[in-house]
Amino acid sequence: MRPVALRLCTLSRGLLTPGRRLTQGFQNPEKQRVLHIHEASSPLHVNNVRDKLREIVGVSTNWRDHMKAMEERKLLRSFLAKSQEALPPRRMKDSYVEVLLPLGSQPELREKYLTVQNTVRFGRILEDLDSLGVLICYMHTKVHEAKMSPLSIVTALVDKIDMCKKSLSPERDIKFTGHVSWVGKTSMEAKMQMFQLQDSEFCPVLEATFVMVARDSENKGSAFVNPLIPEGPKEEALFRQGELNKGRRVAFSSMSLLKMAPSAEERTTIHEMFLNTLDQKTISFQSRVLPPNAVWMEKSKLKSLEICHPQERNIFNRIFGGFLMRKAYELGWATACNFGGSRPFVVAVDDIMFQKPVEVGSLLFLSSQVCFTQGNYIQVRVHSEVASLHNKEHTTTNVFHFTFMSENEVPLVFPRTYGESMLYLDGQRHFNSMSASDTMKKDYLLKPQGKPRLLETSVPQ
């Protein structure tokens, strides 16, 4: 079980307040502005954050020009630092970014974000968070001497995303804020919050932690990033939490069921489940029957296939990580809906590792499966793999973990094979790593959604 701090509806103390319009903290404050997620005047709803990223990296929106742009980026190698000590230190407020998604004040933007239940599509929010996380890290690593950034910053990991509202209104403005909260030698942790307007006040609805890595101008090797100097005890605590997060990820990886045997308690759990499915009439290890209100794990699968077109590419001409997360989430949501028989609500997303980039033109195979249930909760695992049009070999690119809450109590899921038993235990571990206590979980589902309390923040204006 991973120790994670309780954070549902009372978000971390270290994050910046959304009221401060510091989009680029170390630039001229008179020119600070709020970035809009979309440019309303554009019929294609061009993403302003993506536009800013293209400007920073120096790439074209034309697919045919991408090779030329990549060649030009080779010239930026001279701006890369030979060591981290050669880079000027930055503060947390230097990377602070605030982004507005005006769903309420600009109704023409709603359709892209609208669900049939008249809520906001969480998959679209994942796309926006991914773009924002990259932009935040570019603000931290800005090189004033260069017109374009010599770094290629990509998403390495979605550490966790915690929700504190069951659903969002598509008729109210949404605001994203975030900043770099921890750095290593070549990696950065970006903490982000999302707020929605309620009674003339932006109230927190989501907190996310992403880990980004910096690579050289050609995206072929690692590159150093600016050190981060926390200011004050709250920022120091936030930085220390980043160190703890790194240690937790290393420990969790070292205990992976792909590397180590289950614990004694986990082995007992699996054996008890096996005994509960034995047919008492035959007294045979081969004869298995399900207990009441239970489903075999193999019956909970859904699959999909995506063709990765150039439209879904990122600024480095690989498939956009936010697109992969959206597709995985939507398949996971459908799996939870199909399994539970009622509308599910996302509670948490965690431990999404981007193991391999997805090339434009690839075939993307997604396989979703319920791997653990408890009460109203459904833990869904989505496995992503790719194959090129010329090579039938499949390669894993991502594994996604989503925790959903159903409106009704859901059946128990039972593994039949040893491999499914390991999936069950892995799902149980991810479920147990959620930051909410049992009481908070119940409140999340049953109680009316009032205004969450916004905790005091740390970075000075």
The residue that leads in pLDDT, 52 or 445, is: 52
Q: How much is the pLDDT for 24?
A: 35
Per-residue exposure over 284-308, b if at least 16 CB sit within 10 Å of its own CB, e if not: eeeeeeeeeeebebeebebeeebeb
Which of the following CATH numbers is that of domain 261-440: 3.20.20.140, 3.10.129.10, 3.30.70.360, 3.40.228.10?
A: 3.10.129.10
DSSP string, 294-325: EEEGGGGEEEEEEE--GGGB-TTSBB-HHHHH
Tokens of 222: 């690692």
Mean pLDDT of 257-261: 88
Q: How much is the pLDDT for 45?
A: 31
For the chain, the residue count is 461
Tokens of 118: 């008249």
In this structure, which topology does domain 41-255 adopt according to CATH?
Answer: Thiol Ester Dehydrase; Chain A (3.10.129)
How far apart CA 360 and CA 308 sit, in angstroms, is 5
Confidence category of residue 130, pLDDT binned at 50, 70, 90: very high
The residue that leads in pLDDT, 313 or 61, is: 313
Given a contact cutoff of 8 angstroms between Cβ atoms, the answer to whether 369 and 381 are in contact is yes
Confidence category of residue 453, pLDDT binned at 50, 70, 90: very low
| Residue 117 pLDDT exceeds 80 | yes
Q: How much is the pLDDT for 37?
A: 53
How far apart CA 62 and CA 39 sit, in angstroms, is 18
Q: Model pTM greater than 0.85?
A: no
The residue that leads in pLDDT, 437 or 207, is: 207
Cα 320 to Cα 18, 130, 315, 425, distances in angstroms: 27, 9, 8, 31
Given a contact cutoff of 8 angstroms between Cβ atoms, the answer to whether 191 and 178 are in contact is yes
Given a contact cutoff of 8 angstroms between Cβ atoms, the answer to whether 194 and 131 are in contact is no
Backbone angles phi, psi at 328, to 5 degrees: -65, -45
Q: How much is the pLDDT for 34?
A: 54
List pLDDT tens digits, range 166-205: 889 999 999 999 999 999 999 999 999 999 999 889 999 9
Q: How much is the pLDDT for 270?
A: 94
List pLDDT tens digits, range 15-39: 544 433 333 333 333 333 455 554 4
Q: How much is the pLDDT for 36?
A: 55
Q: What Rg value do the Cα atoms of the chain yield, rounded?
A: 23
Residues 6+ apart with CB under 8 A from 115: 121, 170
| Residue 3 pLDDT exceeds 60 | no
Q: How much is the pLDDT for 74?
A: 79
Mean pLDDT of 128-144: 93
Mean pLDDT of 336-349: 94
Given a contact cutoff of 8 angstroms between Cβ atoms, the answer to whether 318 and 357 are in contact is yes
**Average pLDDT over the chain, rounded to an integer:** 82
The separation between CA 40 and the C-alpha centre of its own chain, rounded to angstroms, equals 26
| Residue 399 pLDDT exceeds 80 | yes
Mean pLDDT of 347-360: 87
Lateral strand order in the sheet of 174-183: 35-36, 97-101, 174-183, 187-198, 201-215, 152-163, 344-354, 395-406, 377-387, 363-374, 301-307
* Equal CATH topology for 41-255 and 261-440: yes
Tokens of 358: 């997805």
Domain ranges, ordered by start, for the chain = 41-255, 261-440
Q: How much is the pLDDT for 457?
A: 36
Confidence category of residue 12, pLDDT binned at 50, 70, 90: very low
List pLDDT tens digits, range 403-444: 999 999 999 999 999 999 999 999 999 999 874 434 334 444
Confidence category of residue 447, pLDDT binned at 50, 70, 90: very low
Q: How much is the pLDDT for 238?
A: 93
How far apart CA 313 and CA 236 sit, in angstroms, is 37
The identity of residue 71, as a single letter, is E
Q: How much is the pLDDT for 32?
A: 39
Q: How much is the pLDDT for 60?
A: 67
Tokens of 263: 């614990």
Tokens of 158: 């979605």
Residues 6+ apart with CB under 8 A from 422: 257, 262
How far apart CA 355 and CA 267 sit, in angstroms, is 29
Tokens of 281: 């009439």
| Residue 164 pLDDT exceeds 70 | yes
